[in-house]
Structure 1
């Protein structure tokens, strides 16, 4: 492998300007600003092979066009004197590109290493653009592409759309055609809407919904199971399930609901089963790309909705249908000014002896209609046997998080769905975390088998 090399790609566009930050930018800024050395954990990143191989100039042109198309990639953020956050869109600047050269058979491994390197450093979002790009070359062509972004610039949905656009541009699609295919609201325009009368009404309605749910929802979902020191680390468990990849799609199609509803139903069921609480309450991360003009936006839009289920059906099919209907309300009220919501919650704490327990977080990060990693080239096994290939690992421990019982991410991986769960072990010991994850998988797979998935 060659010595590391870096260049700075000059980008010039038509528009510049400044204005208040969006609700999403502000929320992520606030979350990251208290993490200190742990801030890179919030970066978002992606890498993928370019098997055909492309000239470096073609890939750099694609990155340049993408930075012109998507203004979040040219946006810096800085606090203002009033304690708010200002976004500044630059018309021109430089974007760092790391270059590596290696043998053709090593490009995947070197790409993974480069991706980890780029994602491991915090971003200076006030002084620099929130994106780093890496190219891995072999035999004079780029065979692997990676990029890391600050979470203030993109969430998972934005990252996947950006990766799609980069690939289409590399393959020869014109920027004009992408703009026609995927019209997208830019962050400055989104902020203008949010500060309009209509935007403020949306914010007020969402916060009112939250206040109502926090006032009448269940208290204390998970009673303490043991003592916890303030600095105790939170275990992270990952269930890798090839069976879930097929089962979720089958149950969703059979029950005529979304895959996210199937997964949310399984999560609510396990909360009730493990905790004994009859009314599960979960914070559900909502990508908000169903809002007008936001379907293709590359910025950070996702926020939490509050989902409250009054009872849990014994029959999983009935549960899925009820969850699908009830989740729509939570999704509708998941776009708001989080600073104002936090103030609402503090006022509510002073008025009520306690609030509903909203310490369980569920995030279905998948968008199979847009992107699904290619499955390994191996023969599919019957669903009844696929669970034999399920694995459970405990890869890492994280610093404690305030007001968190557990956080679960659902992730599409090559040939499988992964459930990544981080929990406070004084509320959910490791044995309960494992029971939760395995019960989650079992409910969906058993329903898929019962409804004809072979």
Structure 2
């Protein structure tokens, strides 16, 4: 892609190989089903102004980053259709050097994000661009394959690189993916997987029909993605979470489920949801892809108030998260069998994802929960000041709606994603226009905001069926 050639040299503690971890296997299959580069992750790391930042010094810090995290020097080898992770102990990583003043940041990010990683050609799962001014590196762009990292791992990598640039000491790295893959082959992990797969099959049998039916022929383009950025939603979610003793993530998911029921007429909402699996012991600091899908199933009785739905949503979400750690191959085989048995899809094709890095709860699981097989509580606090009801009404005037060029993070019937800072979240809705035409997508997002605003105004109930 042009630019001055240079390399980062790495020399880690060990090499090795193992099967893919459960989370790696799930995202590997997702990458195979989507457009090249669709799941690449980009992060910009500014270089602190008071540290040595010539190209050589920064290349050295990048090399030490790869020494530290085996996921960043792992290749994927596919033999007989079975992918395995191969950790390289030593080697070099090419770096691209650009001139800060001449670079178009948007073009640079899009150019590198769109380029797929070719594991079979020997690519490592990271590309690095050094943006310089007068020979000094001002910014480091990391482009990472999603097999190597999830969003929490991206934050760890960016933080470690900043510390390495500044010469700050770092604690020993967390568990490495090789160790996790081997642990997942042990008997305790196999039992955990079997329990989770059993939950998926039991809940999937409760799903009698898809959430959506065809509304007509697809529009052009067939998949659309809209986003509503709303301080009113952020304030409303915080008020309702505080008032009713749940997390704001629960509020968002309850609103999504309630509106899906209203739009489709279904009395049972089923969503696949993203779980980061960081609440399991020893998982907090791993640099790898730990996220897996959880299955959320919630009954929506007629005349149910939104406030009444919050605790039921919390319980259903906890069950889904608790059972979102499993051997992907075991689940695939079980759901394929269920699909043959049902003569149709084995589980939901609608998605919910709360990807706010400052907002989703931090969970800690220390022991197996009691009879309902789900954690009892989610410690949570975002450190923000209380929000007054009046702030919600004023905030609605600041909301913005728009269409995204990218068809969304997942091409499926319906996917709703919460992102951005908790105070001013962005609610992104991606949908197949056969099921939810573009004009309905806009109405859905505005109704999402209205629902939370009205729920703050009326402390008794908002009928989710109207």
Change (3 A) 1:185 1:442: farther
**Residues 246-302 of structure 1: per-residue CA shift (max 9 Å, x gap):** 443443334332232121111111111111111111101111111121111111111
Change (3 A) 1:111 1:169: farther
Residue in 1 that maps onto 2:434? 426
Task: Map residues 365-380 of structure 1 onto 2, 5 A cutoff.
Answer: 365-368=355-358
Check the 8 A contact 1:114/1:134 in 2, yes or no.
Answer: no
Say whether residues 1:92 and 2:110 are aligned partners.
Answer: no
Aligned length: 426
Q: In terms of mean alpha carbon deviation, does 262-271 or 236-245 score higher?
A: 236-245
Check the 8 A contact 2:356/2:421 in 1, yes or no.
Answer: no
Residue in 1 that maps onto 2:17? 18
Residue in 2 that maps onto 1:378? none
Residue in 2 that maps onto 1:335? 325
Residue in 1 that maps onto 2:78? 79
SS in 2 for 1:416: coil
Aligned-pair CA distance for 1:51: 5.9
Partner Cα distance (1:50, 1:248) in 2:
35
Residue in 2 that maps onto 1:70? 69
Say whether residues 1:278 and 2:267 are aligned partners.
Answer: yes
**Residues 332-379 of structure 1: per-residue CA shift (max 9 Å, x gap):** 1111222332221221122224456501111111120699xxxxxxxx
Residue in 2 that maps onto 1:165? 160
Check the 8 A contact 1:76/1:128 in 2, yes or no.
Answer: yes
Say whether residues 1:242 and 2:237 are aligned partners.
Answer: no
Aligned-pair CA distance for 1:22: 1.1
Residue in 1 that maps onto 2:413? 405
Q: In terms of mean alpha carbon deviation, does 281-290 or 238-247 score higher?
A: 238-247
Tell me which protein shows more helix as a share of its residues: 1
Check the 8 A contact 1:7/1:98 in 2, yes or no.
Answer: yes
Partner Cα distance (1:73, 1:33) in 2:
20
**Residues 131-156 of structure 1: per-residue CA shift (max 9 Å, x gap):** 01122222443222211111111122
The runs of at least 4 consecutive aligned structure 1 residues that moved more than 6 Å come to 399-402
Give structure 1 stretches of 5+ with no counterpart: 372-380
Check the 8 A contact 2:261/2:268 in 1, yes or no.
Answer: yes
Partner Cα distance (2:399, 2:347) in 1:
31
After superposition, the CA RMSD in angstroms is 2.8
Change (3 A) 1:216 1:157: same
Query: TM-score scaled by structure 1?
Result: 0.86
**Of residues 389, 397, 411 in structure 1, which corresponds to 2:398?**
389
Check the 8 A contact 2:230/2:400 in 1, yes or no.
Answer: yes
Say whether residues 1:195 and 2:199 are aligned partners.
Answer: no
Check the 8 A contact 1:24/1:300 in 2, yes or no.
Answer: yes
Give structure 2 stretches of 5+ with no counterpart: 362-389, 460-466
Change (3 A) 1:130 1:369: same
**Residues 287-319 of structure 1: per-residue CA shift (max 9 Å, x gap):** 111112111111111111000111267433332
**Of residues 168, 188, 204 in structure 2, which corresponds to 1:214?**
204
Say whether residues 1:132 and 2:140 are aligned partners.
Answer: no
Check the 8 A contact 1:252/1:259 in 2, yes or no.
Answer: yes
Check the 8 A contact 1:384/1:449 in 2, yes or no.
Answer: no
Partner Cα distance (2:423, 2:151) in 1:
19
SS in 2 for 1:40: coil
Partner Cα distance (1:29, 1:201) in 2:
23
**Residues 78-130 of structure 1: per-residue CA shift (max 9 Å, x gap):** 1122x221111111111232222234xx8xx7444332222121001231210
**Residues 1-22 of structure 1: per-residue CA shift (max 9 Å, x gap):** xx83232211111111111111
Say whether residues 1:326 and 2:316 are aligned partners.
Answer: yes
Change (3 A) 1:399 1:255: closer
Aligned-pair CA distance for 1:242: 3.0
Aligned-pair CA distance for 1:217: 2.3
SS in 2 for 1:145: strand
Change (3 A) 1:384 1:401: closer
SS in 2 for 1:280: strand
Residue in 2 that maps onto 1:268? 257
Change (3 A) 1:91 1:159: same
